[in-house]
Amino acid sequence: MERGEITLLYQPVLRVDTGAMASAEALARWTHPTRGPIRPDLFIAIAEESGLIVPLGRMLLRQACIDAATWPEHLGVAVNLSPVQFHAGDVYDTVIAALADSGLPPHRLKLEVTENVVMHDVERTFVELERLRAAGIKILMDDFGTGYSSLSYFERFPFDKVKIDQSFVRGLDTSRAAGAIIKAIVGLGEALGMAIVAEGVETCAQRDALVLAGCTHLQGYLFSRPVSSASIAALGAAGPDARALAA
């Protein structure tokens, strides 16, 4: 962190209705001077165990807001929050400070939380999420449908968006259940007014099935890998890429 080796790349999220980019997800990358790239699932886990995720998360959140403030106004930025960061830290104050420092309007910031964030202390978490939402920030449920995801979370809290876990997208090719689960999550989204994102979209066949199922947003290597902040600014200014969603 002190050597500035941990940086952010951004992966576009596209709207299905227009094909335009709606936002980009900030993904941490560590390039070590001698070891080269270190996998984020590895160093994020170590940062969580050591508690360093609190200052690291604060730094990344601030950087993501500063970067997004340079993008066209219609683009939002999504930042992943770790359970440790959420429960050990002062997430609300950190988020408000990042918005103030960057000048980014709150509605352009989306926080991605997993069931692990919610599970830890359900009542306290929802109180905290409600505070953030009242400040105008969007809240997204990440990696939904695996682990201990509970449908009752939606009874308790109106998430703005739900991201279907990429394992179901991969499963589309081989498993009838995957398609059925995706349709069920989309139905929930339609009934409750939540946008539904599918991530990990790699093939045209997956894209077509997800559009047909009613997903509102798509993300994956088929459209773009994670890219620099400058590339997001350029892509956003260029407008919708008609090729992206064309069959």
Of 73 and 138, which has the nearer Cβ to ligand G? Answer: 138
Calpha distance 82→117 (Å, rounded): 7
Tokens, residue 120:
């830890």
Please report whether residue 67 would count as binding Mn ion according to CB under 5 A: no
Report the partner that residue 27 touches, choosing among Mn ion, ligand G, none (CB closer than 5 to 8 A by kind).
Answer: ligand G
Site track for Mn ion across 133-152, x = CB under 5 A: ---------x----------
Decide which of ligand G, Mn ion, none touches 200; Cβ closer than 5 to 8 Å per partner kind. Answer: ligand G
Query: At residue 29, what are phi and psi to the nearest 5 degrees?
Result: -135, 135
| From ligand G, Mn ion, none, interface partner of 202 (C-beta below 5 to 8 A by class) | ligand G
**For 168-200, what is the HEC assignment?**
HHHHCCCCHHHHHHHHHHHHHHHHHCCEEEECC
CA–CA dist 130, 170 (Å, integer): 33
Nearest residue to the partner ligand G, using Cβ: 220
Q: Give dist(CA 49, CA 70) in Å, integer.
A: 33
Contact 92, 124 (CB under 8 A): no
Residues 69-108 vs Mn ion: string with x where CB under 5 A? -----------x----------------------------
Binding-site ranges for ligand G (CB under 6 A)? 11, 26-28, 40-41, 44, 57, 60, 80-82, 142-143, 199-202, 220-221, 226
Give contact residues for Mn ion (rule: CB under 5 A): 80, 112, 142
